[in-house]
Amino acid sequence: MTAAFPAAIPHAAPRRDARARRMIRRGLAFAAPAAVLLVVIYLLPLVMLAGFSVTDYQLGALRWSFVGLKNFAAAFRDPVFLRALGNTALYAAIVIPCGIFLSLGAALLVHGTRRSRALWEIAYFLPVTATLVAMATVWQFLLHPTLGPVNAAITWLGAAPVSFLGTPALLIPTLALIGTWQIIGFNMVLFLAGLTAIPKDLTEAARLDGARHPVDRFLTVTWPMLGPTTMFVAVTTSISAFKVFETVAVLTKGRAGSETLLYALYLEGFDYSNTGYAAALTLIFLAIVLVLSIGQTLHLEKKVHY
């Protein structure tokens, strides 16, 4: 009996190794379609984009030449690109805090209701489901200096009509207002999910410990518990803010210096057919968004309580 037992061990080890190899092959077979899609949809276009960015290729041209980093250097000497970068930064500086805190306020108000909660959730989320191009046309009518109801209300209050889309200083803030309106509903749903996940026992314990005012309970319990949700909302809102394109294309078409990053590279790539230069602008745009997202994540990760 004692001699037969060790003899069975060499047979069990190869079976385990064969079973492990079969599991690895099955896992690779399941992951292969997703890996192929990842390469075809994301990595291959990125490699081609990087290749175009170091050439002077123009759309439809039969010949082009290698120019190295000249396109990137030209971008930072281009007044249109620099103006678009400043406009996008201003737009993001308005949309990001407003999109976060207004949606948090809306979520707190909706979360505190009982009977009409579903109605308010639908009302706030409707702008998310609407096509932004169509809604931009609606906003164009609302903000019209003579026909729009917004200026009608301003005139009724005794003030002079305001040309929101005709005054250069008001163009970017007006576009940021529309962007904030469009993103509040989505962020509100995320904050509502975070508020629902907070145990009621924590709020009750804070109240018993002396935090009797709702503001005190919000600062001591609700806000720290919403840390992961706030971090996610901040990153996604920042990315959405830098991707602004539809409202600029419909409402202003870049007039009066209202270009944004995406609209500037769209003009270079499709209107002016400067594919190589547009590819360089796209890489700069992707680098800005990547650095901003990673920076926000690393900064907010230190303050988040899981």
- How far is residue 270 CA from its own chain's centroid? 24
Q: Are the C-beta atoms of residues 303 and 227 closer than 8 Å to each other?
A: yes
Phi, psi of 223 (to 5 degrees): -65, -45
Q: pLDDT value at position 290?
A: 92
Q: pLDDT value at position 300?
A: 79
Number of CB atoms found within 10 A of residue 103's CB: 24
Q: What is the mean pLDDT of residues 159-175?
A: 89
Q: pLDDT value at position 9?
A: 53
Q: pLDDT value at position 78?
A: 92
Q: pLDDT value at position 76?
A: 92
Q: pLDDT value at position 201?
A: 80
Q: pLDDT value at position 10?
A: 56
Residue 299 structure tokens = 């900064």
Q: pLDDT value at position 253?
A: 86
Which pLDDT tens digit goes with each residue over 189-245?
999 988 888 888 877 777 777 767 777 778 787 888 888 899 999 999 999 999 999
Q: pLDDT value at position 30?
A: 85
Q: pLDDT value at position 71?
A: 93
- Confidence (pTM): 0.85
Which DSSP state fits 88?
Answer: H
pLDDT averaged over every residue in the chain: 85
Which pLDDT tens digit goes with each residue over 86-119?
999 999 999 999 999 999 999 988 887 877 778 8
- Rounded CA-CA distance 40/227 in Å is 36
Number of CB atoms found within 10 A of residue 128's CB: 15
Residue 90 structure tokens = 């201003």
CATH of 77-301, one of 1.10.3720.10, 3.40.640.10, 1.20.59.10, 3.40.630.40: 1.10.3720.10
SS3 call for 55? strand
pLDDT band at 1 (very low <50, low <70, confident <90, very high): very low
Number of CB atoms found within 10 A of residue 76's CB: 10
In this predicted structure, the answer to whether residue 23 has a pLDDT above a threshold of 60 is: yes
Q: What is the mean pLDDT of residues 250-279?
A: 89
Which pLDDT tens digit goes with each residue over 34-86?
888 888 888 898 999 999 999 988 887 778 899 889 999 999 999 999 999 99
Q: pLDDT value at position 39?
A: 87
In this predicted structure, the answer to whether residue 144 has a pLDDT above a threshold of 70 is: yes
